[in-house]
Structure 1
């Protein structure tokens, strides 16, 4: 569940595999310190210290970390398509479904009393809104909010700088149902992942945000306005890097246990120390040293469920780029030892480090299979020779141009470690890789989105809707890039994506999605690297939050044991 779907390196995706938010820090570890590895039960477990609310202390402040202040609080926009922003707004905005540890869906009755596929030919979905549901100013949530968001994400008006269409390109119209509290979506063609349209990473915003391109693109650049969750923003301090959420006085659902949630901007490398020093209460762990630190500190515990994030490297195929030629990208990708990368960064964190070999599904998820082209540096060298890139000294050249690739990433040890491994791999076939690290602030808005890279490393965060993101990331429309920052694609891949998204039979859609995945490899679009181990460090007293796997949190139940 693009999971993927990141500040400083993680982008939201709407897929059941996606990963997003925060960066991972580098490290290798020894065998006897290993954490239980990824299992075939991925998506079926979570580790959140489940505790009845009557056993929790009333009130309290949950302290969390984020790597940067939000560039835009609208996660549906390109600037706001960031996993850490998504985690913050998830406490405050409606979603259509709750998701359990097995990835199973149930209607979130705080917001909708019923969601039904009422017709398949033509396809119609009817949303009935909870009559108690209101925005934070007391105004009702109505069908017009759903209609405005459907229009904004349809892609028909290019003035909306959207991160994902999420199937709304197939929605012909949204009409008022029996009253203002019911919306009827009519589709021009079937859409397989329709349940994810107002769920997962595609939360519902008010029509004041989605109703015009100007509001959509810029109205939440400085602060979030109307919300509709158990918490609201009660204070912000951009200079100090602090965001405080308090209880929403207009909230109609179960009373939250916590009084407040505070997010502090901290460099990712200081998160574990902040946890150890009792400055924050929950952090993601990236290295075996992180795990050992938490295990060796009184009052802390490691919580672990297989993660829904994954790292990757995206190539830039835009006209004029050094990697414009698909055959060149494929040759380069074959020379990258992804198993070596997995061994280096996950030894000690999982029992059997493995690369991720699929762009759509994660390991252990139904549909996952290895569609990769494999690690074959000998073949890569021969293909480069055939393409006219001849070895001159240590670096290949063609038409007077040296084969030098600039790899851009967040300035974080694990990304640099991955880049150094790739650098060594490519040097063996006469390709030079330059490592270009960037700060978190502006990484996506100023570097990745404009295409200021030859290769880029970041992560995706997902949810249980694995098909939603394939158009967002792998469909190529030069007038509507969404998250295809590498500007890579083909008419054949576009057509295959369309077929996949319109297939309502689950088995057929899985087969088509794997054909999409293979084609993405063959285009040299990007390389998945590793799936997140899912380790978190938490206070032993913290309950109903931790390592969720595919599950969503119930923010009204999070708190501290008595």
Structure 2
């Protein structure tokens, strides 16, 4: 994925009518209709301040998960740290605005537009005449051409992780002057604005050796408000310094230090003054509460969503009717509430696989599948041949023993004796480990009490329990309907476990049993999700301003490879259709933005109908920042503006304590 930077009418439908070809797609907005993309559910929370209120100088210490293994954003092991460095020191022709849409970056571009469509698409870039690399050389066509050749896929000597869009370019040449770059495409490309962000110098892209190894530990040439000063693996730090050749608004900070700090140690690091800003979870936010006035928590929603994945490669979920029954059993609003309401964030379920509310391609396509409907879910299961069966004494004993073991084990504890901190869900595309950082949820019991209490919770002794609404276990051909729900067992698993338990109860009501399988966190994604060793799983996908390019491999129909294996690209649910593939191909090849969005929304409706993955909620974003630190925090969709970050000036007549806090925060 790019880093910019994963109800149908409640009537019973036959298996034939559930095919993609017979799908009734909800009407799309036409001329004069409100924009279905809507607005972002939450805006950025960065303590915005005008530049004249920010002091000149100081070093910002920023906690990161790890010192990046590579500084080349186009390599397979690039991670969030790689992106952070690239945003600060390299050109990006476009930035993401608060609505998650690309906006031209005037520090590098005067203009960029399509100047020809027939016989080929031609884009003309006019560069900012002041834009230079750190050695004084002008940014120009040679840099664009070197990056295209490296990422085009033509030369296998380049170890590239992604080349989407670059393979559609035919040639790059100088325009009427050195400040113009002319890019001619051999095939039309709707997402052309995604290219050359970041842009590396020709010295990095010009040879396989420089690309593969040279840019992993150092960047000799940069062109951003900051330069790379040092990657210090002994101290687990990356140091950036103000760029003396920067032609834009001067950076307020004299330096930025990206410091590796494990998430469970960030509260201590913040209160001790070793870092100034860090992404945190809700448990950490709670521990920081007594330190209000020194550190504050800034909140938004990430450009990413958590989904329930249904593996359609085999077993009961290979039947679309069973997958749809799972979907119709779920109350996605409840799942969003249990995660987001305790944080004071909008608890609205995600309605699209390809975009989030506010992004250009967003429209709620969940109507192609339908909302929670227990009766419909049971009817779908019956139509698929799953009928009430019997539970053997052995199965009863196994469940009793399992429940007893889980009750005896109790909650896990952190080193400080508190309940295990919660990182939340796994997000794909940021690093090999696919780490996550959602919030800790309120305890189930407290949630029930807040909503009026569970039925019978305080009933007088001797009161009969309410009748079970769930049917008995379902079976087919002598085999019980049971799905393996795979979850990680390490730190950060509490949110997943809580959401999974809610899902388990919802499925139980329609006769679908789940077997929760907790696996080692380190191998959760690679050994289970990517390899297809699961029936149900929870993980997250980032969204992109360019879904025709970036969402396509997530939903592409798996195809047999030459060696007999199945090529799934990033479609780990193994559910796809030819029509979805065709719609993505049409969307990426049309230069009419409205038509492209309409095609993506049609594709999304068909993805919903196939029920391979069910978007649940947009991921929360919690950032702890030192008071007095401006233009930093929970950025939401937006790209950070590094030159505007800094510490507020001491206000005349302000208490001495505030002044000393700001001053100490600015020292490294």
TM-score by length of 1: 0.78
Q: How does 1:159-558 map to 2 (within 5 A)?
A: 164-178=162-176, 181-199=179-197, 203-207=198-202, 209-210=204-205, 220=215, 226-238=221-233, 240-249=235-244, 251-284=246-279, 286-287=281-282, 290=285, 293-294=288-289, 297-305=292-300, 307-317=302-312, 323=317, 326-350=320-344, 353-365=347-359, 368-372=362-366, 373=369, 374-387=371-384, 393=391, 403-409=482-488, 411-412=491-492, 413-428=494-509, 429-436=511-518, 438-439=520-521, 449=530, 454-462=535-543, 464-476=545-557, 478=559, 483-558=570-645
Seen in structure 2, the aligned counterparts of structure 1 residues 353 and 106 have a Cα distance that, compared at 3 Å, is closer
Question: Structure 1 residues 13, 392: CA separation in 2 closer, same or farther (over 3 Å shift)?
Answer: farther
Could you list the per-position Cα deviations for residues 95-136 of structure 1 after superposition, in whole angstroms to 9, with x for gaps in the alignment?
102344355654323323332221122221112334544445
Asked whether the equivalents of residues 285 and 297 of structure 2 are also in contact (C-alpha less than 8 Å), the reply is no
Cα distance in 1 for residues equivalent to 2:148 and 2:645: 32
Residue 209 of structure 1, CA deviation: 4.8
Q: Structure 1 CA distance, aligned partners of 2:316 and 2:218?
A: 39
Which residue of 1 is the match for residue 123 of structure 2?
A: 125
SS at match of 1:495: helix
**Is 2:95 the counterpart of 1:98?**
yes
- Once the two structures are overlaid, the 10-residue window that deviates more, 292-301 or 54-63, is 292-301
CA distance in 1, matches of 2:532, 2:212: 19
Which residue matches 2:453?
none
Structure 1 Cα separation of the partners of residues 164 and 598 of structure 2: 20
Q: Which residue is equivalent to 1:61?
A: 59
* 1:90 counterpart SS class: helix
Distance 1:450 1:76 in 2: 24
Answer whether contact 1:48 1:545 (CA < 8 A) is retained: yes
Query: For 1:556, what is the secondary structure of its paired residue?
Result: helix
1:552 offset after TM fit, Å? 2.2
Q: 2:405 corresponds to which residue?
A: none
Max Rg structure = 2
State the Cα distance separating 1:214 from its structure 2 match: 7.2
* Residue in structure 1 matched with residue 106 of structure 2 by the alignment: 109
SS at match of 1:551: coil
> CA offset at residue 53 of structure 1?
3.2
Q: 2:219 and 2:642 mapped to 1: Cα distance?
A: 19
Provide closer, same or farther for how the CA distance between residues 427 and 61 of structure 1 changes in structure 2, counting only shifts above 3 A.
Answer: farther
- Whether the 8 Å contact between 1:149 and 1:205 is mirrored in structure 2 is yes
Identify if the C-alpha distance between structure 1 residues 445 and 559 changes in structure 2 by more than 3 Å, giving closer, same or farther.
farther
Measured in 1, the distance between the counterparts of 2:527 and 2:164 equals 24
CA contact (8 A) 2:300 2:345 kept: no
> 1:157 & 1:406 partners in 2: Cα distance?
42
Q: Which moved more, 1:91-100 or 1:147-156?
A: 147-156
Q: Is the 8 A contact 2:336 2:347 kept in 1?
A: yes
CA contact (8 A) 2:121 2:186 kept: yes
Which whole-Å CA distance do the structure 2 matches of 1:525 and 1:475 have between them? Answer: 12
**In the alignment, which residue of structure 2 is the partner of 1:19?**
none
- Give the direction of change, closer, same or farther, for the CA distance of 1:230–1:404 in structure 2 (3 Å limit): same
Q: Where does the alignment leave 5 or more consecutive residues of structure 2 unmatched?
A: 7-36, 396-472, 562-566, 650-668
Q: Is the 8 A contact 1:310 1:529 kept in 2?
A: yes
Contact kept? 1:13, 1:469, Cα under 8 Å = no
- 8 Å CA contact 1:14–1:462 kept in 2: the answer is no
Deviation at 1:398, TM superposition (A): 6.5
Give the direction of change, closer, same or farther, for the CA distance of 1:321–1:301 in structure 2 (3 Å limit): same
Please list the CA deviations of residues 490-543 of structure 1 after superposition, one character each: whole Å capped at 9, or x if unmatched. 221110111222333333333222111111222333221111344433222111
CA distance in 2, matches of 1:159, 1:431: 49
Question: How much does 1:237 deviate?
Answer: 4.0
Structure 1's 288 and 68: CA in aligned 2 closer, same or farther, altered over 3 A?
closer
CA distance in 2, matches of 1:213, 1:423: 50
Mapped partners of 1:46, 1:350: distance in 2: 14
How much does 1:339 deviate?
A: 1.9
After superposition, give the CA deviation of every residue in 1:310-330 in whole Å (9 maximum; x if it has no partner): 222334445x68855555444
Q: Structure 2: how far apart are the matches of 1:326 and 1:216?
A: 44
CA deviations on 1:318-359 (whole Å, 9 max, x unpaired) are 5x6885555544443333432221121112324652211111
Task: Return the alpha-carbon distance in structure 1 between the equivalents of residues 613 and 386 of structure 2.
Answer: 21
Residue 279 of structure 1: how far off its partner (Å): 3.0
Larger RCO: Structure 1 or Structure 2 (Cα < 8 Å, ≥ 6 residues apart)? 1
Q: State the alpha-carbon separation in 2 of the partners of residues 288 and 452 from structure 1.
A: 31
Work out whether residues 100 and 358 of structure 2, in 8 Å CA contact, stay in contact via their aligned partners in 1.
Answer: no
How far apart are the structure 2 equivalents of 1:219 and 1:314? 38
Structure 1 range deviating more: 356-365 or 161-170: 161-170
Distance 2:110 2:356 in 1: 31
Q: Tell me, what secondary structure is at the counterpart of 1:419?
A: helix
